[in-house]
Amino acid sequence: MRFQYAFQKIVDLKTNEKTQAEWMLSQAIVKLREEESTLAKLEDAKKELQEKLHKVSENRTTVSNLLLLQSYVDHIDLRIRDKHQDLHTAKTNVQIRQDDLTGKLLQEKVWTKAKEKAYQKFSAGVLKVEQNRLDEMATNRYQRLS
């Protein structure tokens, strides 16, 4: 006798959903790392520009050159603020994906446990049938020998 679980397709579906949730989480984490990297690059660029602005201001230069550098610093500041918002969105997305994965893991675990219980029940039934056969064989042998 072979064990066949009636709800195997549901177990497979829950496993596939968990795998998909893991994939979505890994994508969200990659996006978060990209946002962090971009933010770090922008902050480095701002620091370099501020140093350049400071060096240029120490020497003779035109006001228009100073204004140009300052406007570029302001532009990078704006991009940094936008990137902080993108970073916040990416962190939120990672948290959502982690929560989703946790739910999928729980669902998969519930269905897997149900399958294991059904298998144990099936195995107990098979063992009981085998034991009954062995008992019957022993009884028949005893009766023949008596």
| pLDDT tens track, the chain, 146 positions | 799 999 999 999 999 999 999 999 999 999 999 999 999 999 999 999 999 988 988 888 888 988 999 999 999 999 999 999 999 999 999 999 999 999 999 999 999 999 999 999 999 999 999 999 999 999 998 888 87
Q: Measuring CA to CA, how many Å separate 84 from each of 48, 109, 120?
A: 19, 37, 53
Q: What is the pLDDT of residue 146?
A: 74
* Residue 130 CA neighbour count, 13 Å, CB half: 7
Domains of the chain plus CATH, in order, are 8-109 (1.10.287.1700)
The pLDDT value recorded for residue 58 is 87
Q: What is the pLDDT of residue 96?
A: 98
Nearest residue to 46 (alpha-carbon basis) of 82, 74, 5:
74
pLDDT confidence of residue 95: 98
Closest to 36 (Cα-Cα) out of 91, 73, 118, 75: 91
pLDDT of residue 57: 85
* Structural contact between residues 117 and 48, judged by C-beta atoms closer than 8 angstroms: no
Burial class (CB in 10 A: 0-12, 13-18, 19+), 12: exposed
Residue 108 token pair: 């998969």
* pLDDT value of position 27: 98
Q: Which of left, alpha, beta for 112 (phi over 0: left; psi -120 to 50: alpha)? A: alpha
* Calpha distance 136→17 (Å, rounded): 48
Q: Would you state the pLDDT for residue 107? A: 97
- Is there a contact between 55 and 39 (Cβ–Cβ < 8 Å)? no
